[in-house]
Structure 1
Amino acid sequence: MENTAAHQMMTRHNFSNFEQLRKWSHEEPAEYLEEMTNELKLALKKFPTEYCARNLEDPQASRFFVEAEMNAAEMCWLGRDPQATAVMFQKVGGTEIEKMTFQDLKDQCLTFARGLASLGVGVGDFVAIDMPMTIEAVIAYLGTIAAGGVVVSIADSFSPDMINTRLAICNCKLMVTQDVILRANKELPLYTRVLQSNTPRCLVVEGKGTLAVELKEGDISWSSFMSEASSLVETKPFECVNSSPYTYTNILFSSGTTGEPKAIPWTQLTPLKSAFDSHMHQDIKWGDVICWPTNLGWMMGPWILYSAFLNGASLALYYDTPVTSGFCSFVEKCKVTMLGIVPSIVKGWMDFGFMGGRDGTLVIKHDGATEDTYEGLFQAGPIHDWSSVRCFSSSGEASNEDDYLWLMGRAKGYRPVIEYCGGTEIGGAFVSCTCVQPQSPATFSTIVCGCDFVLIESEDGDEKGNAKLVRKGELAIVPPMFGGSTTLLNKDHKKVYFQGMPRHPDSGIVMRRHGDEFERVSGTYYRAHGRCDDTMNLGGIKVSSVEIENAVNGVVDWVEECGAIAFEPPKGGPSKLVIVAAVGEKHVIEEEVEMLKKMFSKKIREKLSPLFKVSDVTIVKKLPRTASNKMMRRVLRDDYLSANH
């Protein structure tokens, strides 16, 4: 514990506990941000004249890193050891772990940036990326930002309709994608799926080394593009485009309650929020190796990239599915120090016997030697040496206490699971854990550094507009908060996050809406209880009820309308999707309900994501609505849970 970044900062400031540090970081943000910038050795083009200029009357008007100039991509390699390993990766079907140094990463990114100019992509232009998390994806992402461009993040699991929705919001000049996705001994089409949307010119990565598809006219392969760009950069080296802190670098998407996803801009500052969080909470430092199976289409993709490079750590990428013995071996070979997961991955390791299963005998290897044997607890399986892991981290789904106790035992000395919960518009988390506090599985031990929040009874304040604070209720963020969004591309930011919110009863500050329900269980410890609004989290993917309903309405003519709800299983894991079908006076038999379940699942996979699955269909005569005709989904959810659990 003494070697952690959090403990060392506590010692420097004579704080006796982490909560004192956390409060200082929020009450004195300028001091905290300056100290973090220096500690991470961040190389800004121009350092700020003021790290935080608060505006308590209008929290959205608060500004950070005043008059600074920077490039988030350039900071990933400036000041780092050029010969240190930046990325290590293992391709599908391969056994060799390939490596790229910080110097090579810089060279490849600047080559990509030079190539963009040759395609007419310039400062402020949007470049979509829709592909797996590979070394080419990292180069395309950082190369676009180095060139002053804006990455538009699209998950590689999205349907053509979902791709189209996001492209319609952003006027992209280029799409970087891959011909096919290789995963779990399968070859899944990606380029052909992308072409079903209204896509711009495509730059296509060869997933198998050579093109597996025929390109449409005007599109170009990755190898051809990089070869031509290399010739250009030899004659005219590329210099990164530095800009103000609030310049857009990335557009990510989060579901809105009206169906259209919110287009959330990440600025030059958002990567710093990600890096500062991971330094203080996951304890990522120089020389570490971090791995988190994810995708650039979700915030954890850019988050893990910046958390590695801005902290001087190495990023480990495994191209195949993580629910394999091969991934477990990859973690061992790379000597991963922070391993990120979602609960469903852990369940997969247990169910398939990787790292020891649920029943039988478990033998744990520590430092290359067998040391501990547990009878009658776990199933024997292929065991890998994870003694390098200092902590795990979890995000995206509700956690299961038993599964995470099992996970903690995979590393020497029962390493903690750092729960991490926030949002795309936060650039990181508002509640998490640390390596310096006692931890309880599936529980958060602290509000995140640089942040503060309270739990409120409702968004309706008292006669003075002040909130009523409670132990269990809706989470409201107390602004200003470093790294949080200040604009949306396609919606009114103030209306979405601030309008109608009550004031903090002590400071009088109008608080920021988030939509999660939380409970303070003891001291600084919290537990999550799902969403308060009409969005849901399916397998780590936030989607609105309206998007689901739009996909299934009209599937059969005798269903008048549908309502989509979700609930969290009692023991954690991905939320379960339930479709409530209103059929009027029609009598529906069991076979028809099963037919609806299959038809709804098929339509949702086609329209939204192949990862979504309908867990149940329930029949009602009419959907409950308010006097203003708004569907009462919370009533639907309560009625369903009362009848089925």
Structure 2
Amino acid sequence: MQDSNAFENQPFAWTPTPDVIERARLTQFMKQVGVSTWDELYAYSIRDVEKFTEEVLKFLDIKFDPPYSKLLDVSNGPEFPVWFGRNADALVRTEGEARTTAATFANKKGWHERGYLRHFDGVVTQFITFRLADSLPQSVLKKLKAELEADNLSDTSDEYRERVEDYLDRGIGECILKRKDVAEIVQEVILAEDGKSCRLISWVIMPNHAHLLLRPSEGHSLSQIMQSMKSVTSHRINKLLGRKGAVWQPDYFDRYIRDEEHFVRTLHYIVNNPVKAGLCSAPEEWPYSSSNKTQVPSSALDGTRTPSSALSAKHEQNLSPEEPAIADEGVRVPSAGLNITTMCLDRWQTDEMKDQPAVICESEDGDVRTATYAELLGLVERCSAGLRAEGFGKGDAIAIHLPMTIETVAILLSINRIGAIAMPVFSGYGVDAIASRLNAVRAKAIFTCDGFPRRGKFYDAFTTAEEAVSHSPTIENIFVLKFRKAAISYQLTAVSYIEFETLISSDENRVPEPTFAEDPLIILYTSGTTGKPKGIAHTHASFPIKAAQDMAFGTDVGKGTRICWYTDLGWMMGPWLIYGALINGATICIYDGAPDYPTADRMWDFCANHEVEVLGISPTLIRSLSAQSEGVRVPSLRILASTGEPWNPDPWWWLFNEIGGGELPIVNYSGGTEIAGGILMGNPILPIKPCSFPAPCPGMDVDIFDENGKPVERGQVGELVIKQPWIGMARGFWEEKERYLDAYWRRFDGIWVHGDWAMEDDDGCWYILGRSDDTLKVAGKRVGPAEVESILVSHPNVVEAAVIGVPDEVKGTAMVAICVVSEPGAIATGLEVELKALVAHEMGKPLAPSAIHFVSALPKTRNAKVMRRVIRAAYLGEDAGDVSSLENPQTIEAIRQLNDR
């Protein structure tokens, strides 16, 4: 832990000018919510986190379809919040209301937040969606049945019917229908009435959805149609209370309004372009065509036959043979809730934004490439179409083992766009680290590359990834990017190799998968103090929105801002940069290479050449660059930022003076993968002290607790805690609920304990002083000691190992391993070199120990727990504290002497 006394009574190094404050996006947000000072804003943000988050969404112009009536549900406890959960607004509206809404947005393209869109002839059309469930949610039915039985309600009573309808109104999870029930409802509500209330324009049944397009008949309203639907569906529920097996779940009623012409044209495209739509691999496999007016047989509706297991379509009107084809446009279907890629890309396809650079990438050899927002969307759409053609879709885990490039950005978004789950891994990881993560999520595919240049040499990424896949039986496909364009020898026979250029050769497919805001988006692995790495689960509405919020408020990023953060996709700041920048309409500037090659000024030259305005960089990198460079002023820079580890004063001042000229703020940023961003963060409207955080992030209800769970006084060091949920918080560890609870929630009831030592000074500035648990941060990267220890003991000559972190002038923290060997003679045969190479191979060279020492025994408690705290203190020559629980306290002295050698 850093010495807190080093930060006492510091003066402020930077103070914002009035014009900087006035221009800041944070100031714009404060005006939106009606506050005039930072203190008022922070109090507002934690007084009502639901209202605050609503305002953030409004500020970022993030719309959900439909909007949700209950923003935050903590009924299962603060450790499991559901944001934008399953409680939809009641969207039943009259035709008149719909027309008014439609008229208001008549000139806007796309979906309105309420689901209404102008029809060409001014008549509103109703689009209803039913969603397929894989299994019956017995808990819902049991709860409903128990409630009804407890109240002795007759199934013919009005109250019984009202209670069932109330369940329907709550949205998904409550209304249970089989495939044949959907068809029966259509018959009972629409066709049986012979078009009296509405006209069935078209309908389509897919594996996960049934879509109905309806138009009200004259004298009838949308609300009447919806009431009829609810009435029949309620009757269906009554008969299903004891049913078991596969079922249909209606999605939110009244979710979509779609113009008839586009809907019919889309169906026309689906039926007549089955290969491009992903329905089959050859046209002859698809016998149903609107051109020959072949009708889909009724068996497709009862589940006994679904062509290509993909889609069945039925038209209730004839299509004109002169109707223009839309093969170039592709299939467009509406989203369901939120697919975050629409906020990153689709909404920027305007005359103002589509030609703005979305990504600028420079490789180490100086090659510069740019993708505009229109070009990036096109690449994402082609990659999405290729993934769908290979059979990948919602819920599939797909790994990404790539350096930061334009293609990497597109691949991440493509995985998100099809509803699959992205799982990035650090591009420098070794075989074991990659394989363990692939197996943990049961990944079905991995994107990798032949390699990439680093310090003038070509790093072979493919061989490492291929060997990892050989230990991962769930992998079906390896997608390969060939940066060198040279031939690759593929060794594995159990997987399919597909080169990226082949994958993206499909036509664009503009179909963002219907996903809910709380559907899984990404699994980011980070290390813990014990056991295997932690898979942090984030959703479409968690990580990206928190990233965009912090980027807008902390680093003042908006439309057109050029931001560079030197990072890797395998660390949280990689996805953070992509989602946050694109949601804000900014330009991502990527340098794909060593930051000090061929000279120590490479990063500064990169920033100058591409007019970077916001630069994020780690303290470790600044320690290294400051020893090699005199610094270069970059005129375009207006904000410097850092994250990953605590600062020490000398490199902070070097960055502030030599790069920032004493005029630019250094926005310090600390949080974590589990946070989806920051707990503490600077911003452009508050003065800054060296190495400090001026305040918590807005919306983060933060405190510092002592060992008994009580707040400490200013100036005292304690545990950094969070007292209320925030939108970006992890939704848990992937398939490890208990481990998640143990990690953060079980020390203090209802309180998130983050694992950092923190202090707040008398001026309200915050400081992070190090980890309060054993997790190491080596050059800003979190490493679990147990993960490295398990690699060391895999060597036949190593019996036990303990890994600790020690101060390092360049890395901040260096990793040191203390090992017990089976044969003392093995030490003389170069065992230290072997072990360093072993860890480098499995974890990657950046995470290899800087030193390995050998002892006869490790300090242990009587229940055989290795005491890393005691080992570290002894190695650094510090007081080891209470060692009464040790079984072998004599081992301490041998470790104390190691650092003297």
For Structure 1 versus Structure 2, the TM-score category normalised by the shorter chain is 0.7 to 0.9
Counterpart of 2:45 (choices 4, 15, 25) is 25
Q: How does 1:454-493 map to 2 (within 5 A)?
A: 454-458=703-707, 461=708, 467=710, 469=712, 471-493=716-738
In the alignment, the residues of structure 2 paired with residue 35 and residue 239 of structure 1 have an alpha-carbon distance, to the nearest angstrom, of 29
Counterpart of 2:389 (choices 86, 106, 118) is 118
Offset, 1:522? 3.1
Flag the 1:397–1:499 CA change in 2: closer, same or farther, 3 A: closer
Aligned to 1:567: 806
Identity %: 26
Q: Deviations over 1:597-637 (max 9, x none)?
A: 43332221122221124233445443222232221111111
Q: Deviations over 1:1-38 (max 9, x none)?
A: 22112233334555454233123212222222222212
Preserved contact between residue 612 and residue 637 of structure 2 (Cα < 8 Å): yes
Aligned to 1:294: 567
Offset, 1:573? 3.8
Aligned to 1:374: none
Offset, 1:529? 2.2
Aligned to 2:200: none
Flag the 1:125–1:174 CA change in 2: closer, same or farther, 3 A: same
**1:163 is aligned to 2:403:** no
Q: How does 1:402-421 map to 2 (within 5 A)?
A: 402-409=650-657, 410-411=659-660, 414-421=663-670
In the alignment, the residues of structure 1 paired with residue 555 and residue 812 of structure 2 have an alpha-carbon distance, to the nearest angstrom, of 23
Aligned to 2:580: 307
Flag the 1:13–1:593 CA change in 2: closer, same or farther, 3 A: farther
Aligned to 1:3: 23
Aligned to 1:369: none
- TM-score, normalised by the number of residues in structure 1: 0.86
Offset, 1:114? 0.8
Q: Deviations over 1:53-108 (max 9, x none)?
A: 444x811343322457111112102332212211111233235x332111111111
Aligned to 2:819: 581
Aligned to 2:457: 186
Counterpart of 2:793 (choices 531, 553, 559) is 553
In the alignment, the residues of structure 1 paired with residue 796 and residue 504 of structure 2 have an alpha-carbon distance, to the nearest angstrom, of 50
- TM-score, normalised by the number of residues in structure 2: 0.62
Preserved contact between residue 397 and residue 444 of structure 2 (Cα < 8 Å): yes
Q: How does 1:217-616 map to 2 (within 5 A)?
A: 218-227=496-505, 229-230=506-507, 233=508, 237-269=509-541, 270-324=543-597, 325-353=601-629, 356=630, 383=632, 385-409=633-657, 410-411=659-660, 414-458=663-707, 461=708, 467=710, 469=712, 471-493=716-738, 494-503=740-749, 510-553=750-793, 555=795, 557=797, 560-569=799-808, 573-582=811-820, 595-616=830-851
Greater share of strand: 1
Structure of greater Rg: 2
Offset, 1:595? 4.6
Preserved contact between residue 563 and residue 587 of structure 2 (Cα < 8 Å): yes
Q: Deviations over 1:325-371 (max 9, x none)?
A: 34322211211111011123223332332xx25xxxxxxxxxxxxxx
Aligned to 2:875: 640
In the alignment, the residues of structure 1 paired with residue 827 and residue 468 of structure 2 have an alpha-carbon distance, to the nearest angstrom, of 33
In the alignment, the residues of structure 1 paired with residue 697 and residue 355 of structure 2 have an alpha-carbon distance, to the nearest angstrom, of 33
- Equivalent AA in structure 1 for residue 801 of structure 2: C
Offset, 1:554? 5.8
Aligned to 2:411: 140
Q: Deviations over 1:204-241 (max 9, x none)?
A: 11112x135234563111112212x13xx3xxx33101
In the alignment, the residues of structure 2 paired with residue 567 and residue 151 of structure 1 have an alpha-carbon distance, to the nearest angstrom, of 34
In the alignment, the residues of structure 2 paired with residue 238 and residue 15 of structure 1 have an alpha-carbon distance, to the nearest angstrom, of 41
Preserved contact between residue 703 and residue 711 of structure 2 (Cα < 8 Å): no
Aligned to 1:375: none
Flag the 1:29–1:468 CA change in 2: closer, same or farther, 3 A: closer
In the alignment, the residues of structure 2 paired with residue 633 and residue 560 of structure 1 have an alpha-carbon distance, to the nearest angstrom, of 16
Flag the 1:400–1:605 CA change in 2: closer, same or farther, 3 A: same
Which moved further from structure 2: 60-69 or 513-522? 60-69
**1:94 is aligned to 2:366:** yes
In the alignment, the residues of structure 2 paired with residue 593 and residue 397 of structure 1 have an alpha-carbon distance, to the nearest angstrom, of 36
Which moved further from structure 2: 295-304 or 628-637? 628-637
Aligned to 1:79: 347
> Alignment RMSD, CA only?
2.5
- Equivalent AA in structure 1 for residue 356 of structure 2: A
Match of 2:731, SS?
A: coil
In the alignment, the residues of structure 2 paired with residue 326 and residue 554 of structure 1 have an alpha-carbon distance, to the nearest angstrom, of 40
Preserved contact between residue 421 and residue 430 of structure 1 (Cα < 8 Å): yes
Offset, 1:496? 2.6
Flag the 1:31–1:593 CA change in 2: closer, same or farther, 3 A: farther
Flag the 1:129–1:583 CA change in 2: closer, same or farther, 3 A: closer
Flag the 1:294–1:498 CA change in 2: closer, same or farther, 3 A: closer
Offset, 1:390? 1.4
- Equivalent AA in structure 2 for residue 527 of structure 1: Y
Preserved contact between residue 525 and residue 536 of structure 2 (Cα < 8 Å): yes
Match of 1:2, SS?
A: helix
Preserved contact between residue 623 and residue 810 of structure 2 (Cα < 8 Å): no
Flag the 1:78–1:602 CA change in 2: closer, same or farther, 3 A: same
Q: Deviations over 1:431-478 (max 9, x none)?
A: 1211111112222221111112222222xx4xxxx5464621222221
Preserved contact between residue 620 and residue 810 of structure 2 (Cα < 8 Å): no
Flag the 1:92–1:521 CA change in 2: closer, same or farther, 3 A: same
**1:206 is aligned to 2:482:** yes
Preserved contact between residue 49 and residue 66 of structure 1 (Cα < 8 Å): no
Flag the 1:556–1:116 CA change in 2: closer, same or farther, 3 A: closer
- Equivalent AA in structure 2 for residue 528 of structure 1: I
In the alignment, the residues of structure 2 paired with residue 211 and residue 554 of structure 1 have an alpha-carbon distance, to the nearest angstrom, of 36
Greater share of helix: 2
In the alignment, the residues of structure 1 paired with residue 829 and residue 697 of structure 2 have an alpha-carbon distance, to the nearest angstrom, of 45
Preserved contact between residue 358 and residue 586 of structure 2 (Cα < 8 Å): yes
Structure 2 segments unaligned to the other structure (5+ residues): 1-20, 89-336, 878-895
Match of 2:378, SS?
A: helix
Match of 2:732, SS?
A: coil
Aligned to 1:378: none
Aligned to 2:233: none
**1:631 is aligned to 2:866:** yes
In the alignment, the residues of structure 1 paired with residue 768 and residue 654 of structure 2 have an alpha-carbon distance, to the nearest angstrom, of 21
